[in-house]
Structure 1
Amino acid sequence: MERRMSVATHWGSFVAVVDSGRLVRIEPRDDDPAPSPIGPGMVVAADDSARVLRPAVRRGWLNGEPRTHGAARGTDAFVEVSWDHAITLVSDELRRVRSQHGDSAVFGGSYGWASAGRFHNAQGQLQRFLALGGGYTDSRNTYSTAALEVILPHVIGGHPWSYQSRMPMWGAIAEHCELVVAFGGLALKNSQINPGGLAKHQTRDLQRRCREAGVEFVNISPIRSDTADFLDAEWLPVVPNTDTAAMLGIAHTMLVNGWHDEDFLRRCCVGFDRFAAYLVGELDGVRKDAAWAAGITGISREAITDLARRLTDRRSLIVVNYAVQRADHGEQPIWMSVVLAAMAGSMGRPGCGWGTGYATMDATGVAEGRASVATIPAVPNPVPDFIPVARIADTLLHPGEVIDYDGKRLTLPELRLVYWCGGNPFHHHQDLHRLSRAWQAPDTVVVHEAWWNTTAKFADIVLPVATGLERDDFAAGFSDPHLVAMPKVREPAGESRTDHRIFAALAARLGFEREFTESRSESDWVRHLYEQTRAALGGDAALPGFDDFWRNSTAELPALTGPFHGSFEALRADPRRSPLSTPSGRIEIFSEEIDSFGYDDCAGHPRWYEPAEWLHAGLSDRFPLHLISNQPASRLHSQYDNGGHSLASKIRGREPVTIHPSVAAARGIESGMVVRVYNDRGSCLAGAVLSDDVMPGVVQLATGAWWDPVRPGLSGTLDRHGNPNALTADRPCSRLSQGPSALSALVEIEPYDGPLPEVLAFAPPSLEPPS
């Protein structure tokens, strides 16, 4: 008999239909106006051949070869073992590494989205466990927004993510704004997701309401489809990685014509005079005028001049998407976008000014935030060491090396044990061949995984974990005003266990089970966190009791009404009474602090730096196409690449790559053909899609296809499946943030004429039964 149950995921809430314990299908909720197609595709992956069903240990490691530093990870067979044996191996290895090399030799900076749920938060569980056990080396910032997270506190103050509550919401944009200029676009595909869960999708309808209210949109991006058709956006194709130059050209035009907001710049900002000297060429002899910008960006001088006039004549909003800062000198377009908005005259006015990340997830611009919701409690980490998140390969390859980071000097620790839980570094990281070499360095790699993805295949010990469908929890999304119940839909596959149950068993072996579990069962924890949230918000007046919530599936959190610290409206009204938390209390167009760092790749004010790889670089003679490795429409990062929706998007089993028809014709490429995309770092196969939605000179290959190297461990070996990080550079965007620069990559593309290798991304490794 069929049962219908609530399901909450990062890509929305659904109804799971279960018959006799078997997951039959997943359906959208009736009240979701724009449900994601990723959800129904989860059924395909639930019991596919890639599920990790039992604990498994790499054969070479089990045979006593954990420290040979060879190339066995990624190529070796695995031996399945009992849970008791696996727990013994992991606990013994943690003891050995800590006693011989110290707590900082354990890396617990495990990065990734994991799955929704306040209690079964994979990184939270891992880091609580490791902190109670003595500590660990952590990572800082995110692959998504590392440059942004470091630069914004210097420029506008506040917590790195505080901008979310300080930007105009879509409702205010519809009411007050006349012009939105979007650097990097507003791709609706990205708004399928929300970290932590989502009750219903709102971004599409909110954007539509803006257009119906008469708001005009300009899409400055190499990709036309980065704005929805219904926005009727003007498309200005821009050479990738040149957004800062475009903004400088607009700013120069405002300045020399006297269109800039002198009052706001004088009262609410510091350092404009020094920046203006750079604009007009007093510092380097180069005027950053519209003609200069046109020669760099490919946007005409006339279009740049027209944008400068429209931005200052009309109530305007300047937005910049996260993608533009995942590039060489990625701090610059973020910083410069704030400066441009300050100059334009709308900063701090209702529905106008500046923002970032709109449509990157169904949270930004939807609500200023949500009430605090309890989660698995953190434990202070006794180890002070950390690394910038994108410098994991550098750390493994060059322990002891000293690097810059946000005015500090960091010594990269020697990591002997990597514990990864709830993430996929072989998706997020750049230059996967370099990462695979670095991954051979530690003594031991422990991974919790539900599927045999690349990270699991490159581990020493793989512990099978239950998915979000296989455990009880409740979800609370970023800025989403709802709690959503997550009852267990089915029993865990094979011998899978929850992360919490695994860590509880390890804690028992290591002597701190009571401290880790606080003597609560998993169901007790879920109820406790909900009731803790309810009590903090005022009890019955705020939320129903747990049993009522569980029965009804959702509950609405009380709205946040502000005031929000760091408001630009308050700053404009009275900068003395409402200062920002910057050193000056104002927007720092020139930052004395950043200038004092003395970095040659991030000066004291925003400026143009030529990227290492772009269409005007010398390297473009050999690799004349710029690779845009943006977020996929068919999955969340690499999650559910084995799901039905992602599999249906493949072309002959490969990830689709979008090519302009003129680029394809010059290379003899036809739609549906398998092509080879390559540069000096590597190569991958992909399925050709021809479209004039990408500008000539650009190819677009989404991230997240599970990396499937023909010969793992061999540098440059062909990827069968289409992962763009076989091609991207593992190079920090600057010494300030050390963030990733994935979108600074040049490639060439050609038809693939050889025999097509079978895609093995979703096939498990060779598995041997225990002896």
Structure 2
Amino acid sequence: MVERRMSVATHWGSYIAVVDSGQLVRIEPRYDDPVPSPIGPGMVTAADDSARVLRPAVRKGWLNGEPRAHDTARGTDAFVEVSWDDAITLVSDELRRVRAQHGDSAVFGGSYGWASAGRFHHAQGQLHRFLALGGGYTDSRNTYSTAALEVILPHVIGGHPWSYQSRMPMWGEIAENCELVVAFGGLALKNSQINPGGLARHQTQNLQRQCREAGVRFVNISPIRSDTAGFLDAEWLPVIPNTDTAAMLGIAHTMLVNGWHDEDFLRRCCVGFDRFASYLAGELDGIPKDAAWAAKITGISRDAITDLAGRLTTQRSLIMVNYAVQRADHGEQPIWMSVVLAAMAGSMGRPGCGWGAGYATMDATGVAPDRPFVGTIPEVSNPVPDFIPVARIADALLHPGKTIDYDGRRLTLPELRLIYWCGGNPFHHHQDLHRLARAWQTPDTVVVHEAWWNTTAKFADIVLPVATSLERDDFAAGFSDPHIVAMPKVREPAGESRTDHNIFAALASQLGYEREFTESRSEIEWVRHLYEQTRTKLGGDAALPSFDDFWRSATAELPAATGPFPGSFEDLRSDPQRFPLLTPSGRIEIFSEEIDSFAYDDCAGHPKWFEPVEWLRADLSDRFPLHLISNQPASRLHSQYDNGGRSLSSKIDGREPVTMNPMDAAPRGIESGMIVRVYNDRGSCLAGAVLSDDVMPGVVQLSTGAWWDPVQPGMDGTLDRHGNPNVLTADRPCSRLSQGPSALSALVDVERYDSPLPDVLAFSPPSLEH
């Protein structure tokens, strides 16, 4: 046996693939990765499993010309395998027809998702380039992960939605300067396995250890104890889900009435504190937002809130807020309020202290402020100005022509006749999957590029098999990661799979713009070109080795990003006149005149407590007394490699595990290892029970990403056999400001499932005809 060892780069780390005679034998961690993710080795299991899409396939009803709207059989129909020539002709003809009859905006190419880590074979980049050159498309805006944050922060602290990443303290600064970290939503290390774009070495765990060893104390305000690592010895304050804003208001009120707040910083570097202080004191509504008020809402004791206010203002402190808290009703509020609380506490703009978001959500956050330029597939300007907020795809399909609010604008939802999805899985990301399934029946045609027969592929009309990241040449460079990693093709594509680029080049040829799309380069020529572009931009030989040397060595170190990083809070504190923020006032906007002018009833001119639609104090809790936390999984990235070895090994009798407190399990007769039914009025799913006091009473935790496996795909509310929490979550926007998803505002109940267990078919292909 002659084994070859080859570099592999993924969103969850870099590895060595061991190949023998063209067969993938195993995937090993790199020797220099201190905390390698276990997801990588599990990729071997999925490489050639029965779920691989091996040939182009067309839904039988669509191919036979049956009605292409409303009462179609997407999700239940058989597929007919066809040749590549026929598939390319079908897709190109349908693109021509839809554009001619309904206009370019009728083509939806939002195609949200992580795809793979490569700089050239970036699925959405390839799709958007292809569609833009063909006349344009309706796009989506923002992300399911952070939509509320992306919209609110430019109003509050100015700058690009993601510019805060380079303006908040890095872990090294925290270890050196900070005494107290208060983490709303915690710091779950499982999330730091990933980095968008890839990473060479995982650093977050060791950096957190350094902080603790330096004496930094941590407070975890979360419904889940393990949202901070055990070695941090964090103080856990269990909080009723969706009440973080109320907890922050109670802390802020305590600071205010005791005169502990940083009056100098608030006066010089912020605007609108006086109006916010009136709200805190209850001068407008007669309700002081004091510690006792907050305790009744949050479940955190009055004494704990008062104590935390004192510690935040007498110690060098950092307020951290995780992304999860803003994926909820009124999700803008905890983000906005966390900035205000940091401004009041006295540490804003001091080294290693103040405010930050998303720490440990990705390995990149807090590791380095930025990464220098790295080339990627060139963008083409989209001729179509229409877009939808990313989480409003079902609304657009169900209600074309409807007008919605978005960040001070009025948007008319376009009529979408052709959906082209590439590099993502909407039947994972979206909420209320039964509603999405109804909406998914309305367009004329759904085209999907997929490597596996997941739910999105099964709900398509035309499925084009694509090569995985192991089956093509590329290179990776992650957000804030100081390395660039080669991704040589490890093996040939399975079956008749092709790369996304190859597919789009063939379509562009039929549609008359192949040269514009490919620029007359082969795929490896593109990879070389983008690397050399990067090398030249960063300084040539002094910055990076030649492409051939890089390809042989597999990894190269990028020069450090040196900025400038505009919007520094340290600069603001030192001289707000000389270093203004990119807000209308040039300061932190505790009160935003612009947001106030929108006159939204669910997002005021300053941060405020809005009662969620679904939470443990709502009337609905009489029927559904448990709050569902649908957080990110530890065993995969979103739904990627749910069919991989790591994810499969985490299942209980083939179902996704659901964690609940023993106090909630006992009266329901539930024991660890039992299969249970999690349900509400929107749907139900089976899951394997795990009992643990890691979650507070009244809360159940079911990770996202299990491939949806409905017993009867055409039946509204049908049981999911596999454990996808988005059959339970509400397709309801955070607010009129961001229109972001509110997945973490969902009430459920859990019961034993004593009926015969249905077989899990999530990883089985549909019926295929030739």
TM-score (norm 2): 1.00
Deviations 1:671-691 (A, max 9, x none): 000000000000000000000
* Corresponding residue SS for 2:297: helix
Q: Is the 8 A contact 1:6 1:485 kept in 2?
A: yes
The 5-angstrom pairing of residues 268-667 of structure 1 reads 268-667=269-668
Long gaps (5+) in structure 1: none
Long gaps (5+) in structure 2: none
Separation (CA, whole Å) in 1 of partners of 2:529 and 2:45: 33
Q: Is the 8 A contact 2:709 2:722 kept in 1?
A: yes
* Corresponding residue SS for 2:5: strand
Q: CA deviation at 1:561?
A: 2.3
Letter in 1 for 2:382: N
Separation (CA, whole Å) in 2 of partners of 1:755 and 1:574: 69
- Aligned partner of 2:695 in structure 1 is 694
Q: CA deviation at 1:338?
A: 0.1
The 5-angstrom pairing of residues 738-749 of structure 1 reads 738-749=739-750
Separation (CA, whole Å) in 1 of partners of 2:67 and 2:443: 8
Separation (CA, whole Å) in 2 of partners of 1:617 and 1:65: 46
Separation (CA, whole Å) in 1 of partners of 2:78 and 2:87: 16
Q: Select between 533-542 and 603-612 the one with higher mean Cα deviation.
A: 533-542
* Corresponding residue SS for 2:355: strand
- Aligned partner of 2:206 in structure 1 is 205
- Aligned partner of 2:121 in structure 1 is 120
Q: Is the 8 A contact 1:402 1:410 kept in 2?
A: yes
Q: CA deviation at 1:573?
A: 0.4
Q: Is the 8 A contact 2:69 2:443 kept in 1?
A: no
Deviations 1:472-525 (A, max 9, x none): 000010111110000000000000000000000000000000000000000000
- Aligned partner of 1:146 in structure 2 is 147
Separation (CA, whole Å) in 1 of partners of 2:556 and 2:569: 32
Letter in 2 for 1:251: A
Letter in 2 for 1:631: Q
* Corresponding residue SS for 1:559: coil
Q: Is the 8 A contact 1:150 1:406 kept in 2?
A: yes
Letter in 2 for 1:627: L
- Aligned partner of 2:231 in structure 1 is 230
Separation (CA, whole Å) in 2 of partners of 1:261 and 1:736: 29
Separation (CA, whole Å) in 2 of partners of 1:647 and 1:65: 37
Q: Is the 8 A contact 2:18 2:24 kept in 1?
A: yes
Q: Select between 669-678 and 58-67 the one with higher mean Cα deviation.
A: 58-67
Question: Is residue 50 of structure 2 the alignment partner of residue 49 of structure 1?
Answer: yes
Separation (CA, whole Å) in 2 of partners of 1:602 and 1:374: 39
Separation (CA, whole Å) in 1 of partners of 2:284 and 2:357: 30
Separation (CA, whole Å) in 2 of partners of 1:71 and 1:505: 29
* Corresponding residue SS for 1:358: coil
Deviations 1:528-580 (A, max 9, x none): 00000110111111111101111110111110123310000000000000000
Question: Is residue 28 of structure 2 the alignment partner of residue 18 of structure 1?
Answer: no
Separation (CA, whole Å) in 2 of partners of 1:310 and 1:453: 49
Letter in 2 for 1:531: E
Separation (CA, whole Å) in 2 of partners of 1:448 and 1:376: 18
Q: CA deviation at 1:283?
A: 1.1
- Aligned partner of 1:709 in structure 2 is 710
* Corresponding residue SS for 2:735: coil
Residues 616 and 550 from structure 1, CA distance in 2 versus in 1: closer, same or farther, beyond 3 angstroms? Answer: same
Q: Is the 8 A contact 2:473 2:527 kept in 1?
A: yes
Deviations 1:631-670 (A, max 9, x none): 0000000000000000000000000000100100010000
Q: Is the 8 A contact 2:471 2:489 kept in 1?
A: yes
Q: Is the 8 A contact 1:433 1:713 kept in 2?
A: no
Q: CA deviation at 1:67?
A: 2.0
Q: CA deviation at 1:201?
A: 0.1
* Corresponding residue SS for 1:615: coil
* Corresponding residue SS for 2:17: strand
Separation (CA, whole Å) in 2 of partners of 1:320 and 1:666: 34
Letter in 2 for 1:138: D
Q: CA deviation at 1:66?
A: 4.6
- Aligned partner of 2:258 in structure 1 is 257
Deviations 1:156-193 (A, max 9, x none): 00000000000100000000000000000000000000
Q: Is the 8 A contact 1:71 1:713 kept in 2?
A: no
Letter in 2 for 1:589: I
- Aligned partner of 1:267 in structure 2 is 268
Q: CA deviation at 1:68?
A: 3.8
Separation (CA, whole Å) in 1 of partners of 2:10 and 2:754: 41
Deviations 1:185-221 (A, max 9, x none): 0000000000001100000000000000000000000
Separation (CA, whole Å) in 2 of partners of 1:687 and 1:67: 38
Letter in 2 for 1:330: G
Question: Is residue 134 of structure 2 the alignment partner of residue 137 of structure 1?
Answer: no
* Corresponding residue SS for 2:405: strand
* Corresponding residue SS for 1:189: helix
Letter in 2 for 1:264: F
Deviations 1:672-722 (A, max 9, x none): 000000000000000000000000000000000000000002111000000
Separation (CA, whole Å) in 1 of partners of 2:71 and 2:133: 32
Q: CA deviation at 1:71?
A: 4.1
* Corresponding residue SS for 2:449: strand
Separation (CA, whole Å) in 2 of partners of 1:178 and 1:765: 56
Separation (CA, whole Å) in 1 of partners of 2:444 and 2:561: 48
* Corresponding residue SS for 2:509: helix
Q: CA deviation at 1:65?
A: 1.7
Separation (CA, whole Å) in 1 of partners of 2:423 and 2:67: 23
Q: Pairwise CA RMSD of aligned residues? A: 0.4
Separation (CA, whole Å) in 2 of partners of 1:69 and 1:735: 28
Separation (CA, whole Å) in 1 of partners of 2:72 and 2:144: 26
Separation (CA, whole Å) in 1 of partners of 2:509 and 2:211: 56
Separation (CA, whole Å) in 1 of partners of 2:238 and 2:163: 31
TM-score (norm 1): 1.00
Separation (CA, whole Å) in 1 of partners of 2:69 and 2:531: 48
Separation (CA, whole Å) in 1 of partners of 2:317 and 2:425: 39
Q: Is the 8 A contact 1:71 1:437 kept in 2?
A: no
Letter in 2 for 1:380: S
* Corresponding residue SS for 1:211: helix
Q: Is the 8 A contact 2:46 2:644 kept in 1?
A: yes
Q: Count residues with an aligned counterpart.
A: 769
The 5-angstrom pairing of residues 70-89 of structure 1 reads 70-89=71-90
* Corresponding residue SS for 1:685: strand
Q: Is the 8 A contact 1:180 1:318 kept in 2?
A: yes
* Corresponding residue SS for 1:718: coil
Separation (CA, whole Å) in 1 of partners of 2:67 and 2:537: 48
Deviations 1:94-138 (A, max 9, x none): 000000000000000000000010000000000000000000000
Letter in 2 for 1:509: Q
Q: Is the 8 A contact 1:164 1:368 kept in 2?
A: yes
* Corresponding residue SS for 1:40: helix
Identity %: 88
Separation (CA, whole Å) in 2 of partners of 1:5 and 1:419: 33
* Corresponding residue SS for 2:58: strand
Separation (CA, whole Å) in 1 of partners of 2:750 and 2:169: 41
* Corresponding residue SS for 1:638: coil
